[in-house]
Structure formats: structure tokens, C-alpha cells
């Protein structure tokens, strides 16, 4: 019993030394929690010319669970106008420990950092898991965060922070800064709302999925270095008022059957019954809606769209704001040179687009493909 206790204590100390020197990269720390490591020493010898072998007793221990989380802020601000609703900031939360861990995710709309306004909770909700990974809030697809979230070792999740922008009193360039915090739910990992010091051992605190009792959890170091707790982490995201924002949407606006019957009023996300017959030979008309909003000039707006797999681009079908364009690279602003059977890219050069607050500019691009 004493030898086993010394072995576990020694391993815990080794884990503490390792976590006090965290890697710069956000990767799981070493061997998975719950892994059994066994070692046997062997001695070979001979007696009176006869070979013999003796093995030591097996020395076995299980790897403890390391708790460490990282929250990464959006790389750029989200451009907004007033009033806007359900504007999204995309945060990334990564479990850099070595076992599955449960974390609470907490939004803060008014952190103690200098800014010009406080966003309000989004009308659709405050936090969502970005299920399809597109960085947009998709009703019925993305999951509201209603409690702790379990993240596997070395796994990242994308969290949509959703806010409404105040309707008045803001000027171009004003910033609203928000904070997302992730905190471990393991008992003892958080003390009075603050992460326990790195190296804190939580007896039998390992996630049940990797074996409890018997596996301790150890609080790792955070992104701030050896003195920063890995049990929690936070990052700031920014909403920026009045700058230029460019968005693009894509929809199916018409479908023509092989018999020449055309149906309009389709929607790419949820096609109505009249537009759900897509058989070989059907011609599908896509429409891209490019919207520029805010204050200033969007420079060099360039739209590209690849010919979808299993379709063929319909030659001469591209239009820009309802005006026909040619497929070749010539004097107009569109081309689909080399487009054919599932190859080629449609390119439309919208150019520099000036815009003022409250008066967004919209451009429509449509083209056709035939199902192979």
C-alpha cells in the first residue's frame, strides 16, 4: 500500500511539473486520462552455463486527468449598425486537457474594459453552439447553450455570442465589447468563482468516463502562463458600429423541368413542394444577393461561385442586377471562362461600393446550372 501511495504521489508531482510549463499550442497534454501504464524490468543471467531470466513485479499506474481550457476571441470585430438584432460573434472554446471535461459558458455584456456601449441579449437567445460550423445563427439548427457543455480532449467547439445593438445614441466607430468565459465544472476546480491554482490536485476528480474512483484531476496552467489557472479562461469580442459590412446570401429562385415547365418562388434552405422535383436535366437558377451596409466604401468587392458538383453551367446565363453578362473575360464585370461539367468558377467584379448609414446597397447576381 505504501509503495502504491508513493507511486501515485510521485506521478502527481510529475504532472504538476509538466503543467507548470504549458505548450504554446492548444493541444491536449500528452497521454489520455485513464490510460494504464505498466512496466516490468527483466534481468538475464546464467548459472553453470544455463541461461535464466527473472522479471520484476509489474509496476502499474493510471494517468490522471489534466484540466485546462482555452477561449479564443473572434479574429476581427463584427460590424453593426443601429439598431441591429441577433448579431453574432464567433468564439472558439478548446479543451486542451487530456480527458473529456464539462464547462459552463458564461456571457458578459458589460465587462470592465473601456468601450462606448453595452450590447443587449439577442432576441433569439444569448449563446448557441455552431452546429454546422458556418459562423451564422441558423434557427432550428444551432443549439442554445442551456447548461454545461462537455468537450472531449483536444476538441474545439464554436460558440455563437448573439446580441442586439442599442437603437440610438451611437456614432460611427463606437465599440461594444463582450466577454465569454468557460469554467470547469469539476468539483474544486473553481474556488469562489476563480480557477484553482495550477497544480491543485482534486482527488478522484477525473471524469467518470475515464474511470472513477481512482483517477485524480489536476488543474493545469492557463493561457497566461504558469501562474494562470487552466480551470477557466475568458476572451473579449467586439461589436463595431458604422463600418462597412458586406454580406452574401444564396437562394434558388427558379426551377425548370426537363419538360420546360418553370416554377419560381423557391428557397434554397427549405424548398416548397412546387420546387422539390430535381431530376437529371432540370435547370436550376441560383441568385446571389450581395448587401453592403454601414458607412464608408467597400473596396474591390469580388464575388466567386464554383459550379456545383453533378451540374453543368448553362452558358450565357449570368446576369448582374438583371442585365445579361457574357461568360468570357471582356469589358463587362462577369465571366465564367472554362465553366462546364462541374468545373469552372463564376466571377463577378462588383468593384468599389460607397455606402452611407441607413442606406444599404444591394446587388443581385443570378445564373443557371443543369443537373447532370
C-beta separation of 93 from 130 below 8 A? no
Rounded Cα distance between 231 and 193, Å, is 11
Cell of 85: 438584432
Q: What is the pLDDT of residue 275?
A: 67
Strand-pairing partners, residue 199, are none
Rounded Cα distance between 105 and 154, Å, is 18
Residue pLDDT tens, the chain, 372 long: 333 333 344 444 444 444 444 433 445 557 887 777 789 899 998 899 999 899 888 887 667 889 999 999 999 888 887 888 999 999 999 999 998 999 999 999 999 999 999 999 999 999 999 999 999 999 899 999 999 999 999 999 999 999 999 988 888 788 999 999 999 999 999 999 999 999 999 988 887 655 545 688 899 999 898 899 999 999 999 998 877 888 999 888 888 888 888 888 766 555 555 566 788 999 999 999 999 987 778 889 999 999 988 999 999 999 999 999 999 888 899 998 888 777 889 999 999 998 877 788 999 999 999 999
Strand-pairing partners, residue 158, are 92
Rounded Cα distance between 294 and 132, Å, is 28
Neighbours of 197 (CB within 10 A): 14
Cell of 187: 468539483
Rounded Cα distance between 20 and 199, Å, is 7
C-beta separation of 84 from 71 below 8 A? no
Rounded Cα distance between 359 and 293, Å, is 7
Taking alpha carbons only, the member of 82, 63, 87, 69 closest to residue 11 is: 63
Strand-pairing partners, residue 355, are 296
C-beta separation of 335 from 282 below 8 A? no
Q: What is the pLDDT of residue 153?
A: 92
For 262-308, the three-class secondary structure string (H helix, E strand, C coil) is: EEECCCCCCCCHHHCCCCCCCEEEEEEEEEEECCEEEEEEEEEEECC
Q: What is the SS3 assignment for 32?
A: coil
Taking alpha carbons only, the member of 290, 274, 298 closest to residue 348 is: 290
Q: What is the SS3 assignment for 190?
A: strand
Domain 67-240 CATH superfamily: Immunoglobulins (2.60.40.10)
Helix (H) or strand (E) holding 108: strand 101-108
Q: What ranges do the domains of the chain cover?
A: 67-240, 245-371
Q: What is the SS3 assignment for 142?
A: coil
CATH topology of domain 245-371: Immunoglobulin-like (2.60.40)
- Domain 67-240 identical in fold to domain 245-371: yes
Rounded Cα distance between 71 and 348, Å, is 37
Amino acid at each position: 500500500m505504501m509503495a502504491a501511495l508513493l507511486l501515485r504521489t510521485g506521478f502527481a508531482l510529475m504532472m504538476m511539473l509538466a503543467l507548470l510549463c504549458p505548450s504554446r499550442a492548444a493541444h491536449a497534454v500528452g497521454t489520455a486520462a485513464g490510460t494504464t501504464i505498466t512496466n516490468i524490468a527483466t534481468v538475464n543471467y546464467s548459472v553453470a552455463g544455463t541461461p535464466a531470466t527473472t522479471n520484476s513485479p509489474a509496476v502499474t499506474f493510471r494517468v490522471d486527468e489534466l484540466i485546462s481550457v482555452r477561449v479564443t476571441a473572434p479574429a476581427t470585430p463584427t460590424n453593426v449598425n443601429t439598431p441591429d438584432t441577433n448579431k453574432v460573434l464567433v468564439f472558439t472554446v478548446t479543451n486542451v486537457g487530456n480527458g473529456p471535461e464539462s464547462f459552463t459558458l458564461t456571457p458578459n455584456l458589460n465587462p470592465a474594459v473601456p468601450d462606448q456601449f453595452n450590447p443587449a441579449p439577442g432576441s433569439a437567445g444569448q449563446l448557441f453552439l455552431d452546429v454546422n460550423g458556418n459562423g451564422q445563427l441558423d434557427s432550428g439548427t444551432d443549439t442554445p447553450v442551456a447548461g454545461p457543455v462537455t468537450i472531449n480532449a483536444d476538441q474545439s467547439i464554436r460558440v455563437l455570442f448573439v446580441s442586439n445593438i442599442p437603437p440610438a445614441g451611437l456614432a460611427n466607430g463606437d465599440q461594444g465589447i463582450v466577454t465569454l468565459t468557460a469554467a470547469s465544472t469539476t468539483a474544486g476546480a473553481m474556488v469562489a468563482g476563480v480557477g484553482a491554482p495550477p497544480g491543485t490536485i482534486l482527488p478522484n476528480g477525473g471524469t467518470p468516463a475515464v474511470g472513477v474512483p481512482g483517477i485524480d484531476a489536476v488543474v493545469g496552467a492557463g493561457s497566461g502562463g504558469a501562474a494562470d489557472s487552466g480551470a477557466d479562461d475568458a476572451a473579449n469580442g467586439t461589436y463595431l458600429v458604422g463600418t462597412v459590412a458586406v454580406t452574401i446570401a444564396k437562394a434558388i429562385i427558379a426551377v425548370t423541368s426537363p419538360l420546360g415547365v418553370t416554377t419560381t418562388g423557391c428557397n434554397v434552405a427549405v424548398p416548397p413542394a412546387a420546387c422539390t422535383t430535381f431530376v437529371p436535366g432540370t435547370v436550376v437558377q441560383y441568385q446571389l444577393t450581395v448587401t453592403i451596409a454601414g458607412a464608408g466604401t467597400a473596396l474591390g468587392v469580388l464575388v466567386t461561385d464554383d459550379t456545383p458538383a453533378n451540374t453543368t453551367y448553362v452558358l450565357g446565363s449570368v446576369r448582374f442586377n438583371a442585365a445579361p453578362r457574357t461568360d468570357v473575360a471582356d469589358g463587362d464585370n462577369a465571366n465564367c471562362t472554362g465553366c462546364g461539367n462541374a468545373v469552372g468558377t463564376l466571377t463577378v467584379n462588383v468593384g468599389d461600393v460607397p455606402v452611407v448609414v441607413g442606406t444599404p446597397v444591394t446587388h443581385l447576381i443570378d445564373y443557371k446550372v443543369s443537373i447532370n
